[in-house]
Chain A
Amino acid sequence: MAAAAPVQRPVRRQPFARQQAMLALAVLLIGALLTWFAHANLNGYRQQLFILCAIYAIVAVSLALTSGFTGVFSLGQIGFLAIGAYVSALLTMPPLVKQPIMLPGLPEWLATFDTTGWPPQAALLFACLVGGAVAAIIGLLVGAPLMRLSGNYVAVATMGFLIIVHSVLNNWGAVTRGARGLSQIPTSTNPWVAYIWLVIAVYVALRLRNSPYGRSMIASRENLIASRGIGVNVLRTRLLAFVVSAFLTGVAGALLAHQIGAIAPTTFYFGTTFTVVIMVVLGGMGSISGAVVGAVIMTLTPELLRPIEAGGAIGPIQYSGLYGLSNIILAVGFILIMIFRPQGLFGERELGLALFGRRTPQQEWAGESIAITPELAPEIDEPIPDPRA
């Protein structure tokens, strides 16, 4: 304020930090209100839909973390969803249904592991953490060789991982019951638990993004060679993103298993993989809030469109029922979005003031052209002393 004070440097860091914090708080509160509403007022079906939105939002956020930030396109994410689901299910299923007659391959400690006496939410938390941890450990083992690859190669290689997981689930009947899947898993996932884990996932992704790790991730995506040249350990950077996203997806898998109460290998394959990829692409690769919005749209729209399939009338035009119509409408929607907004709904940006054009990096330099600082080199004509002399 004082005019006499020497100008050190313009204050330019985060001019809207306060507003952004308020916005984050507002979003958090609205989410909590929705959750409360879903928990208290919605019927079973709609409540399940709410939970499903949150679970898929967690998966989409983790995929945005690994594929969006580091540019390593992973098609193996659903493998971690499966691992989280199966590991957590085997932990919390009552010992009665884990007996050797049904699951002969289980080690005895796991077959007799009994959480039925625990408070249901404690058992679920435990299952989520273990499911996430196992997914993270497998992510580390799988990522160590795969994160050295780039581009199409890594997409194909991670898809190989998904196929392996799927084959194991289908064929290791002694532990997974094969294609029949596991059932009688306690259905303890409620809207609150799903919402809290979603908040955690978004928080972790945003923290990482606005940190040295996030900068390294994005730098390695933007220019792999240059990032190595300035000291970024690309393998370690990618591995961090991959393992954290495997953990979060593993947790989502645990929530999913404890929502439905029954899981089967078919859930964890290409269909779900591409649905989640579409969620992230739709929201905007590299945008966390975009991933959440994409997940909600992709989960709700098919349900909202379903009544159309029964047939009816649009104004004066009558049409008969057509199975699959909602999918066709959805697909046409994607094609239009990819044509008219290929960067996705959010692009690289996050929900916030930036979205309204306030503080986004300029795409083009609009200032006057400036000469390259001659004052930097006043000694330009003096010879440089030769150090060898």
Chain B
Amino acid sequence: MTSAPDDIILEASGLSRSFRGLQALADYNLRLATGEILGVIGPNGAGKTTLFNVITGFLPPTSGTIRLRGQEITGKEPNSVAALGIARTFQNIRLFSRMTVLDNVKTAQQLRGKAGFWETLFSTPSFLAKERALDEAAYAHLQSLGLEQFSDVYASALPYGFQRKLEIARALATEPSVLLLDEPAAGMNAQETAEITGFIRAIHQRFGLTIIVVEHDMTLIMPLSHRIQVLNYGRVIAEGTPDEVRGNPEVIEAYLGADEPADAVGA
């Protein structure tokens, strides 16, 4: 649990991505320690979601490399990245609406083992055993996150806050070691934000996760993060502990508006 070099779980070097001349991400570098919570903040269009899309394989980088536990994952397909242990949520919630909450989780959980085609076709005892195990594991997973009362409800029928939670629960069901959360508190009021902050904190410990969280809401990001990176125009303009970033004049100018007092940022 120390910061020895082999404790680096995710490493990005020289990561860039441009869209027809627009530099969405420029020379991005990261050494993420196992168990760390990294907060990424920045104004709209700063490249935060692009960063997530590049790490998870939805967008290939224009240049640069990404390594997970030393293994290069640059340019891999999203499903392969997920299989290697990076899960994510989305800024605009993306659930499987016309599937039950339980099936949402099962679909993610089956990444770690499912019945084969011929087993399925002939509904063999091994198929039934695997499906039953999957079913029970998914239910237990929902139970551990306080979602089990919804298990047979369509995902689209959930109250908003629980949709956010289900999306995180589904990502966790892929048994990731790194979890990327894209604006988990978007559209939430202060109380809900506090609750989701506690939720993230709890899953961080329980699942032994390393987390990168993108968020605008300082009341979530400040108490949660060990370290914060500030992105602007695709570049990291500041990096440090929440306190360091909070006091950085460049950050205040770029992100929070120059005329705003620094203490308005704090949580």
Contact = CB atoms under 8 A, between A and B. Distances in A.
A222 B98 contact: yes
* Overall SS of chain B's interface: helix
B110 A215 contact: yes
Nearest to B144: A376
Given A362-B152, A376-B145, A211 B115 contact: yes
A173 B98 CA distance: 48
Nearest to A225: B94
B150 interface: yes
Contacts of A371: 195
Interface in B170-222: 170-171, 173-174, 192, 195-199, 201-202, 204-205
B133 to A, nearest CB: 12
Given A230-B87, A384-B201, A388-B36, A225 B174 contact: no
A364 B1 CA distance: 45
Contacts of B23: none
Interface in B96-111: 96-100, 103-104, 106-108, 110-111
A226 B90 contact: yes
A378 to B, nearest CB: 8
A9 B96 contact: no
Contacts of B252: none
Interface string A1-18: 000000001001100000
Interface string B41-55: 000000000000000
Residue of A226, A229, A380 contacting most chain B CB atoms (<10 Å): A229
Interface string A357-389: 001011111010111111111011000101111
B256 interface: no
Contacts of A223: 94-97
B34 interface: yes
A219 B96 contact: yes
Contacts of A327: none
B99 A218 contact: yes
Contact of B99 (A215, A232, A364, A384): A215
Contact of A384 (B107, B150, B204): B204
Contact of A12 (B151, B202, B224): B151
B246 interface: no
* Overall SS of chain A's interface: loop
Interface stretch (B12-20, B63-71, B154-162): B154-162
B170 to A, nearest CB: 6
Interface string A321-349: 00000000000000000000000000010
A234 B95 CA distance: 16
Given A377-B198, A384-B201, A388-B3, A228 B146 contact: no
Given A225-B90, A372-B199, A376-B146, A389 B3 contact: yes
B124 to A, nearest CB: 11
A353 to B, nearest CB: 14
Residue of B108, B148, B205, B227 contacting most chain A CB atoms (<10 Å): B108
Interface residues of A, number: 50
A222 B151 CA distance: 18
A305 interface: no
Interface in A210-268: 211-213, 215-216, 218-219, 222-223, 225-234, 240
B225 to A, nearest CB: 9
A222 B107 CA distance: 12
B77 interface: yes
B1 A387 contact: yes
Contacts of A387: 1, 3, 7, 33-36, 226
Contacts of B24: none
Contacts of B173: 230
B157 A364 contact: yes
Given A12-B151, A223-B94, A232-B107, A374 B157 contact: no
B229 interface: no
B90 A227 contact: no
Given A223-B94, A223-B95, A373 B56 contact: no
A362 B99 CA distance: 10
B198 A348 contact: no
A384 B37 CA distance: 9
A362 B153 contact: yes
A38 B121 CA distance: 30
B28 interface: no
Interface in B24-41: 33-37
Contact of A348 (B1, B96, B98, B107): B98
Contacts of A155: none
Contacts of B148: 9
Nearest to B132: A13
A211 B115 CA distance: 8
B159 A365 contact: yes
Contacts of A240: 117
A365 B99 contact: no
Given A226-B90, A380-B198, 4 more contacts: A12-B151, A240-B117, A362-B153, A365-B158
14 contacts: A208-B120, A212-B115, A213-B120, A215-B103, A215-B106, A219-B99, A219-B107, A225-B58, A230-B82, A361-B153, A364-B157, A367-B149, A373-B199, A388-B227
Closest 3 CB pairs of A and B: A373-B146, A387-B35, A377-B198
